[in-house]
Copies of this chain bind each other. A is one copy, B any other.
Amino acid sequence: MLQAGTEIDTSEALTERQQAVLDAALRLLVEEGDNLTMTAVARRASCSKETLYKWFGDRDGLLTATVQWQASKVRVVPVDGKGLDLASLTVSLERFASDWLKVISSDTSIALNRVAVGHAGSGKDDLGAIVLENGRFALAKRLKPVLEAGRQAGFLDFSDAETAFRTFFGLVARDVQIRLLLGDRLELTDAAIGGDAVRATQQFLALYGAKTGPQGP
């Protein structure tokens, strides 16, 4: 599916200064999109181009480092499936949905996805794979245990966790991400996100909720 080796190792030992430079690059990426120049990054980060090249090799290297740097910042806490009841499962799902909507509607996510999509055509770098690995696939890895726990506890009924996850994903994201990526103004207030999260969760439970309760026949 995805070639191996796209996982991020945060042990890359980035110095303070390098992180600052990457942050500057990230801000510039959000503002300028893919047409940011090395000179602009150097100026914004108050460093020399030579340093940029020494540290990151070339432009693509800088871009990948920036994307990985942002990815490494959004590490999240795993959830525990202990002592699960329907209410806590529901809030878990709602929380996942709300978090995900917040992420994909954030400026940095949009910018990052834009450049990754743009680069995905010409196989020069693996930006697309990196974004995918830290976005959609990371979400699946975090959510699936919750789904499994829900099934174990008898609240959910599905045969394939992957399919169930993708349905949940679709119910949450719908057309939001593609519209945002394509430049549609689509202001998502916190209230709207919250509403969508509970709607998606309710729909998901309606589709995959076990007909029989946890102590069913």
Encode contact with B along A92-107: 1 for CB under 8 Å, 0 otherwise: 0000000000000000
Report, as a range, how many residues of chain A touch the other chain: 35 or more
Copies per complex of this chain: 2
Q: Which of A123, A169, A183 has the most CB of B within 10 A?
A: A183
A129 at the interface (CB under 8 A from B): yes
Return the contact of A171 from the options B33, B131, B170, B179 (Cβ within 8 A): B170
Looking at A53-61, A72-80, A109-117, the stretch in contact with chain B turns out to be A109-117
Cross-chain contact B166 with A175 (CB below 8 angstroms):
yes
A216 at the interface (CB under 8 A from B): no
A184 at the interface (CB under 8 A from B): yes
Binding site for B on A (CB under 8 A): 1-2, 32-35, 111, 113-118, 120-123, 128-129, 131-132, 136, 166-167, 169-175, 177-179, 181-186, 203, 206-207
